[in-house]
Amino acid sequence: MEMVVVAPPASGKLEDLKRRFFATPLQAVVSLLSLSVIVFLVWKLLNWAVFSAVFDASGGADACHAASGACWSVIAARWRIIFFGLYPYEEQWRSALACVTVVAMTVLSCIPAFWTGRRIALVWGLGAAVFYVLMKGGLLGLSFVGEEMWGGLALTLFIFVTTCLIGFPLAICLALLRRSELPWISRTTGLIIDGVRSLPLISILFTFAIVLPFALPQWLQGDKLYRVILGSALFFSAYQAEIVRGGMQGVPRGQEEAAMALGLSYWHRISRILLPQAMRNALPATINQFVISFKETSLVVIVGFFEILASGNAAYGTGEWRFAYVEVYAFIALIYFVFVFSLSRYGAFLERRMSVGER
Amino acid sequence: MTVPTTQEIAVRVEGMSKYYGTFHALRDINLTVARGEKIVVCGPSGSGKSTMIRCINRLEEHNAGSIMVLGTELNDDVGNIDEIRREVGMVFQHFNLFPHMTVLENCVLAPMLVRKMPRVEAEAMARRYLEKVRIPEQASKYLGQLSGGQQQRVAIARSLCMQPQIMLFDEPTSALDPEMISEVLDVMVTLASEGMTMICVTHEMGFARRVADRVIFMDAGEIVEEAPPEIFFTSAKSERTQLFLAQVLGH
């Protein structure tokens, strides 16, 4: 048998690369092959997206037909539809400002300095009011724009944020009710949670948008948009409730006993001892749920709302740009990515921050 | 032994029983603790000693008999339970400190929420008690940075911050490494010397000898023997007690 000569640990990046990818002839071949495939794909992509692409909208759709690459001019020409849907053209600055408000509100409430009840309530109360007045108008000299005209990114953000805003407290209530010591309360809550979870979101949205008006008196119906938001919040809360309950199960029994022994009331035990620790345990799954909910807002198209994805369809849907759907979807994917990626990075920040107490 | 008057009674347990399903965990417990008295409860594991002291602040519910704490009957009345818990501190085997808060926050939480004490005042008091348990320098740390003995002393300080009239100790040194036991016992001895009413479940017989006014031996959910330490350790009446003492003190 041959002696295996162990090379001394190589220093430097080049040596390291050599050891990882070119250790044996076979490995070298596989590495080179993979590398050439990657280079080829990246070149094709760059060629399509950048080098042969048309960026200038002035040539119109015809300029794109002549070029072999991507037709970004569709974005330049139709971005207003993607962002604002059917919102009246003259008033679209209001929709843009409303989007900025939601983003600002979310960013503010992600900053630890704002994590007191009063500040969070102030940020959200004020933000919601500004958003609503901007979008709907009808006062302060702003013209009235009904909910059926809302669309695009503003609508997606509105549905997502309100879903979470209603769904999250509801989820905590459901999770607390489910661990009630009274069996009829915990069983009923369990039944509700399991019932909602066993239904597809589409059927819930459909029920709330189309079927509910037949069952409810006129004054209770509200606008279709708010019924849809309630439906999606209910769906969100059923899943989130189980996530919170899982988090609660991870908090040792002794924590609550210690809080009881100190004389803390039920609500103080829940709000100061149980929930903070449960939410820490539940954080990764919670971020996951937020991400899923953000993407699921696209389902409201089936009840006739033009959120960002449906607005995108409308953007290329006219005859002139019909060929440019790939570019539109790529652009919308980028927007989704920006929001979802920020969300997950924020989750990672929270995890790091919360692990301070652990060790 | 003189019978203490109602004013002087801290805890009176009469004919108390406790069941877990069909398992009879505590049988006809009778115990009267005077103010300022130090009781050590010992016995083999599963004898019901922890369950008994956990009944005194209603971490466990008793099924029969009565418990009076500082003149208040412990029953289903939530007001009574809250009143008793405010006046009875408890130290646990596994510390049960709140890991998402600093040492200082652990200490000021209950005084601020339950006693409505202003933060400045609560923090000043917390620092006094942290000094008393000899860890004033750890106030801004989280638990992961503290040893077991330090954590248990924080837990004692946290209880003291509620300024309780009675302290319950549920095996406070059982989860500690041997070299940390004495630092916790020292704090408990100091507390005892200041006249705190204490009921301690512990296997530390040296502590019992030194501090206890009475030692109680429990087995199979019953109080088997009850005597001052000098008598308890030298001339225990029951065979079960003698066997237990032989096992505990054997080495």
Nearest to A262 among B99, B101, B114 (CB): B114
CATH superfamily of A150-305: MetI-like (1.10.3720.10)
The pLDDT of residue A359 is: 40
Question: DSSP labels for B165-228?
Answer: SEEEEESTTTTS-HHHHHHHHHHHHHHHHTT-EEEEE---HHHHHHH-SEEEEEETTEEEEEE-
The pLDDT of residue A1 is: 47
Average pLDDT over residues B78-98: 93
pLDDT in tens, A286-338: 888 988 998 888 888 888 777 777 777 777 776 777 777 777 788 888 888 98
In angstroms, the CA B110 to CA B155 distance is 12
% helix, strand, coil for chain A, step of 5 = 80, 0, 20
Is the CB of residue B156 less than 8 Å from the CB of residue B149?
no
Residue with tokens 């100091």: B190
Q: Is the pLDDT of residue A48 over 90?
A: no
pLDDT in tens, A122-160: 888 888 888 888 877 777 777 787 777 777 888 888 888
Q: Which two tokens stand for residue B152?
A: 């248990």
pLDDT in tens, A158-197: 888 889 888 999 999 999 999 888 889 999 999 999 999 9
In angstroms, the CA A203 to CA A198 distance is 11
pLDDT in tens, B164-210: 999 999 999 998 988 899 999 999 999 999 999 999 999 899 999 99
Q: Is the pLDDT of residue B126 over 90?
A: yes
Angle at alpha carbon of residue B223, lines to B222 and B229, rounded to 5°: 155
Instruction: Give residue limits of the domains in chain A.
Output: 52-86+308-359, 150-305
B33 touches chain A (CB under 8 A): no
CA distance A126 to chain B (A): 29
In angstroms, the CA B213 to CA A162 distance is 63
Q: Please, is A55 exposed, middle or buried when counting C-beta atoms within 10 Å of its C-beta (0-12, 13-18, 19+)?
A: middle
Percent of chain A with pLDDT over 70: 91
Strands (E), chain A: 151, 306-307
Nearest to A254 among B57, B92, B159 (CB): B92
Q: Which residues 141-160 of chain B have a CB within 8 Å of chain A? A: 142-145, 155, 158-159
**Residue B94: its chain A contacts at CB < 8 A?**
252, 254
ipTM of the shown complex = 0.91
**Residue B109: its chain A contacts at CB < 8 A?**
262, 264, 272
